[in-house]
Structure 1
Amino acid sequence: MKATLQIQRGGPDETPRVEAFELSFEPGQSVLDGLRALRLDADPTLAFRYSCINANACKECMMLIDGDVDYACTVRLKEGVTSLAPLPKKALVRDLVTEIAPPDERLYRS
């Protein structure tokens, strides 16, 4: 099976661009599985956040998936095109990574 991930790329001071990556997958694999495979095989600079302990427990891999806020670890890859973008209304760090901790809880000051 083949999936195409259209991923919004760039940093906070850049014009966002969309890059498309095609990948093979097995039924049941998650979007997070696909992102990890892409970073390993296609583009090691791809930035996304995850910290898997248990599905839907850490909330690190939240992003816009086909326009809906969801967890990359729970949404399954599908044949065809899936669009990925960073969370809206959050400060962009790079690619799919946004600031998730409130400013007073960060280890550094922006």
Structure 2
Amino acid sequence: MSTIQLNVLRGDEDQGSTMVHYEILFEEGMSLLDALFWIRENMDSSLAVRYSCRSANACKECMALVDGKAGYLCSMRAKEGTTLTLEPLKGRPWVRDLTTAIE
């Protein structure tokens, strides 16, 4: 069984932040957004991430920093055996976890 490791910055402006480590099973073709959905559905339903592709058929809301570089979580593919750090975008008001305010 192959896994991926995600270090996700959790918290908010008022409470501060902490890096939380998740290890999940790797599935060929999974996006980072798929991995976060799996975490929410199976490990931690309180994980906050903004997206609208599943419910509103819209795009471009799942942007976050992955290893320090901005990208869309829905289009970034997980790679077997990797460890990635996910953080909210800088320069936007931080709401909670990977969610920032849309301006």
Runs of 4 or more off by more than 3 Å in structure 1?
Answer: none
Structure number, greater radius of gyration: 1
Q: Residue 87 of structure 1 aligns to a residue in which SS?
A: coil
Q: CA deviation at 1:31?
A: 0.1
Structure 1: gaps (5+ residues): 102-110
- One-letter amino acid of the counterpart of residue 91, structure 1: P
Q: CA deviation at 1:43?
A: 0.2
CA displacement 1:4-45 (0-9 Å, x = unmatched): 100000011122100000000212100000000000000000
What aligned pairs does 1:1-110 form with structure 2 within 5 A after superposition? 1-52=2-53, 58-78=59-79, 79-101=81-103
* Greater strand fraction, Structure 1 or Structure 2: 2
CA distance in 1, matches of 2:48, 2:18: 14
Per the normalisation by structure 1, the TM-score is 0.85
Percent identity, aligned pairs only, is 43
| RCO comparison, higher one (Cα < 8 Å, 6+) | 2
How many correspondences in the alignment?
Answer: 98
